[in-house]
Amino acid sequence: MSGGPAHILIAGGGVAGWMFALAAARTLLPLGTQISVVDDGVDESLGGHTLALSTLPGVQDHHHALGVDDIAALRAARGSFKLGESYTGWTSGGAAILPYGDTGADLGPVRFHQQLLRLGTRVPDMDLAGFSLAGEAARLGRFAPPSPDPASILSTLAFGLHLEAAGYARHLRDAALKAGVQTVEGRVVSADRGADGRLCAAVLADNRKISADLFIDATGERAALISGVLGVAWESWAVPGLDRIASAIADHSVPPAPLTRNEALSGGWQRSVPLYGVMASQLIFASSEMDDANAITRLGGKADVSAFNPGRRETPWKVNCLAIGAAACVPDPSASAEHHLAASAALRFLKLVPHRDGGGVEAREYNRVFAAETGSARDLAALFYTAQTRTETPWKAARTLERSAEFARHRALFDARGRIPRSEDGLYDEAMWAAAFIAARVQPRDHDPLANGLNQTALKQRCEHIRQLVANTAQRLPAHGDMLAQLHGGRS
C-alpha cells in the first residue's frame, strides 16, 4: 500500500491557505510530506470582500486543533469578542439579537422557546436576549469568558471572535513557517495535467513550474485550478434584487460591542464587524437603487465594490485538487461561515488524507460533508432574506430567493409547531436554528404539545427568575472595551 502525498502545494496564501498549511504541517510534516505555499502577498483566499472574520463559537475548537492560541490571534488581528448577532430593520419592531450559548433552560424534551410559546408569547415580541447571558451582555457591551463550573451561570456563555483578516493571515503564516512549511514567492495562474487528468505541476505567472502530488486551490474567487484548469462548475446562490457588495475598513474609536450588527436599509443591508480601533463593514445592495459611488460614500469614502455572487463549487475535491476558501464557497456574509468553512476544510482533509495512488473514496466523503456544511450556511442566509418584511422593490425580489429542499423542511417544521430538525453535518445546532428563526420573527402556528403538560403559573415564575438572574449577572460583567484595552495593551 502506498503512503500519503510526498508533496502538497498550496496555491495562494491568505487566511485559508496558511490555515491549511499550518494544519497539514502539524500532522504531515513529521511523516515526511513536503508542504509548500505559493504566495504573492495578496490575500484572495476568502474573497476580496472578507476584510474581517465574524466567527461562530466553534472557533476555539478549531484553534485548539491548529495549535493557535485565541488571545495571541486576537492580539495579532486587532480582534474583539463576539456574543451573537443583531438584526435591525429586517422586520417591524426593534432590533432582534441572536445570542450565542444557552438561552433559558430546557425542561426535559421541551425547548426553552417552546416554553415561551406555551406562555402565549408571540415570536415578534419574544426577546431571547433577555433570557441569555450572552445576549444581555452583548446588549450592555459587557463580556467575560465562560466558567468551567457547570453550576455557574457563566458556564452558559459561548462566544466567537471578530478578527481582521490581514493580521490573522500573518499570524497563521508565521506559525506555519515556524512549523516547517516552505514558501515560494509567486502567483499560481494555471497547472499542467497528465494523461490521467490529474494535475502534475502548478504554473506560475512568470512561467515557473512546480510539481506536486496534491494541489490545494486557495486562489479565491478566481479559482485558478479547480475552475480554470479542471472546469468544476459554480453553483450560484445569487439573491434576487441584491447584486453588488462593497467592503471597507476604517478607524473607529468607539469601544466595540461584542456583537456583529446587520442593518437592513431601503436599498440593501450593511454588516458591521467591530474590531479593536477599527470597524470592518460590508454593504450588500441593489444597483437599481444605489450606484457604486453612493455605496462607497456610505462606507466612508473608500471601499472596494464588485458583483455579489455567493455560492459554492459543485465538487471542491476533484482528482488531486482540493479547493478551499472562496475557491470552494463564498457564503453570504450573514452566515458567519467563512472561518468555520476554512478551518473545517483543513481539519477534515487531515482525516481523509489520500494515498498517492488515488483518493476517490476520500474525495466523495469530503464532498458530501462539504455539501452539508455549505448548505446550512446557504439556508441560514435564505431564512433572513425570505422572512424579512420590507416593502422596497429589492427586498420584495429578495423574498423570491429559491429555497433548497433542506431549508423548506426546516421552515415547514418551524412554521407548524416551532420545531427544529437535527442536522448531523450542518454548521448550526438546534439552539442556533431556533434563535435564528426567532430573530427573523417567524411565528409558528402552534407550539409543541409536550409544553401543554407544564404548569403555566410555575413556568411564568421560572422564566422570570431566569430573566432576573441573567440581568443581574450581566450588569456585573466587565465592560468589553475595558477587557480589550487590557488585552491589546491600550494600543488601537
Is the per-residue pLDDT at 425 higher than 90? no
424/274: higher pLDDT: 274
Handedness of CA 336, 341, 342, 344 (dihedral sign): positive
pLDDT in tens, 445-464: 999 999 999 999 999 999 99
pLDDT in tens, 158-209: 999 999 999 999 999 999 999 999 999 999 999 999 999 999 999 999 999 9
Is the per-residue pLDDT at 356 higher than 80? no
353 by DSSP, 3-state: which? coil
pLDDT for res 50: 95
> Which residues constitute the domain of residue 259?
244-307
Whether 92 maps to a domain, the answer reads: no
Across 308-316, average pLDDT = 97
Average pLDDT, the chain: 94
Is the per-residue pLDDT at 242 higher than 60? yes
Last residue in a domain, options 374, 389, 415? 374
- Same domain, yes or no, for 207 and 341? yes
Is the per-residue pLDDT at 307 higher than 60? yes
Query: What cell numbers appear for 198 in the block?
Result: 490529474
Is the per-residue pLDDT at 219 higher than 90? yes
- Same domain, yes or no, for 219 and 323? yes
pLDDT for res 358: 60
- Same domain, yes or no, for 453 and 384? yes
Band of residue 253 on the pLDDT scale cut at 50, 70, 90: confident
Helical (H) or strand (E) element with 38: strand 34-39
- Same domain, yes or no, for 250 and 227? no
Whether 96 maps to a domain, the answer reads: no
- Same domain, yes or no, for 404 and 465? yes
Whether 2 maps to a domain, the answer reads: no
- Same domain, yes or no, for 276 and 403? no
Nearest to 23 by CA among 342, 378, 370: 342
- Same domain, yes or no, for 329 and 221? yes
Helix ranges (DSSP H) in 133-272: 133-140, 165-179
Band of residue 485 on the pLDDT scale cut at 50, 70, 90: very high
pLDDT for res 1: 33
Tell me how many domains the chain contains: 3
CA dihedral angle for residue 412, residue 414, residue 419, residue 424, rounded to 10 degrees: 70
Whether 464 maps to a domain, the answer reads: yes
CA dihedral angle for residue 166, residue 169, residue 173, residue 176, rounded to 10 degrees: 170
Is the per-residue pLDDT at 2 higher than 60? no
Scored b (16 or more CB within 10 A) or e, 282-318 reads: bbbbbbebbeeeebbebbeeebebeebebbbbebbbb
Query: What is the pTM assigned to this prediction?
Result: 0.95
pLDDT in tens, 125-134: 999 999 999 9
Whether 492 maps to a domain, the answer reads: no
- Same domain, yes or no, for 297 and 382? no
Band of residue 354 on the pLDDT scale cut at 50, 70, 90: confident
pLDDT for res 70: 94
Whether 87 maps to a domain, the answer reads: no
- DSSP structure class, residue 277: S
- Same domain, yes or no, for 293 and 424? no
Last residue in a domain, options 307, 334, 355? 307
Handedness of CA 212, 215, 221, 223 (dihedral sign): positive
Whether 94 maps to a domain, the answer reads: no
pLDDT in tens, 17-38: 999 999 999 999 999 999 999 9
pLDDT for res 197: 93
Across 425-433, average pLDDT = 91
pLDDT in tens, 315-345: 999 999 999 999 999 999 999 999 999 999 9
CATH of the domain at 67: 3.50.50.60
Percent of the chain with pLDDT over 90: 92
* Least confident residue range of 55-69, 107-121, 415-429: 415-429
- Same domain, yes or no, for 366 and 394? no
- Same domain, yes or no, for 461 and 388? yes
- Same domain, yes or no, for 202 and 351? yes
Nearest to 374 by CA among 404, 399, 419: 404
pLDDT for res 93: 76
pLDDT for res 421: 87
* Least confident residue range of 49-63, 250-264, 348-362, 376-390: 348-362
pLDDT for res 88: 96
Last residue in a domain, options 261, 283, 307? 307
